[in-house]
Amino acid sequence: MLNKALRILIADEQHFHRMKVERLLNQLGYFRIAPVSTVEELLSLVEYGCEPFDLLLISASMTAGFDLDLLAFCVDNEQIRRGFIYDGQHAQRAPIQARHRQKIQVSLAPTPDFESLRRLMRSIDPRTQYAEVPVVPWLRDACQSTAG
C-alpha cells in the first residue's frame, strides 16, 4: 500500500525537468508534490515548513553560484528526511560518509528516470506494491524495452 501522505519537494530551475519528475512520481502514485524553481523558494519552504519533507529531489546545477553546500544542507537539515541530488557532476565532490548514505543519494543523470525513482521510492516507502498502481502502457513498455 502506498503512503500517499509522503511530502515530496522537487527543486529544479528547468520547468520541463520539474514536470517530468513530477509526472513520473504521479505514475508511481505520489501526488503530494511541491515543485520550486529557485533556491530562494527552496530555502523558504524548507525553513518555514511546519512539517518535514520526506524527500527532496534537487538538481545540483540549481545551486551553482550560491554559497550552499548541497550535501551538508540535505544531511544536516531536520526538515529534509531524504535527499536525492541529480545532475551530480555539479555537486561538490566530497564523499558521502557511510552514516549519511541512507539519507542522501547522488546521481550523475541530468534527471531521474522512472526506474531510479521507483527504486528510490521503494527504499523510502518499503511497503509499496507498485503492481497495484496503474501505469500508463507506453511508459511501462518504454521501461521494459530499455531494460531488456
Boundaries of every domain in the chain: 8-128
Contact 62, 39 (CB under 8 A): yes
Q: Is the pLDDT of residue 96 over 70?
A: no
Residue 129 DSSP label: -
pTM of the model as a whole: 0.80
CA–CA gap between residue 122 and residue 113 (Å, rounded): 14
> CATH says 8-128 is which class?
alpha beta
CB 97 within 8 A of CB 3: no
Instruction: Give residue 132's pLDDT.
Output: 47
In angstroms, the CA 29 to CA 122 distance is 12
* Mean pLDDT to the nearest integer, 117-134: 75
The pLDDT of 44-59, averaged and rounded, is 94
* Owner of C-alpha cell 548514505: 101
Distance separating alpha carbons of residues 102 and 107, to the nearest angstrom = 14
pLDDT above 80 for 39:
yes
| Residue-averaged pLDDT of the chain | 84
Residue type, 39: V
- Is the separation of the CB atoms in 147 and 119 below 8 Å? no
- Identify the three-state secondary structure at position 120: helix
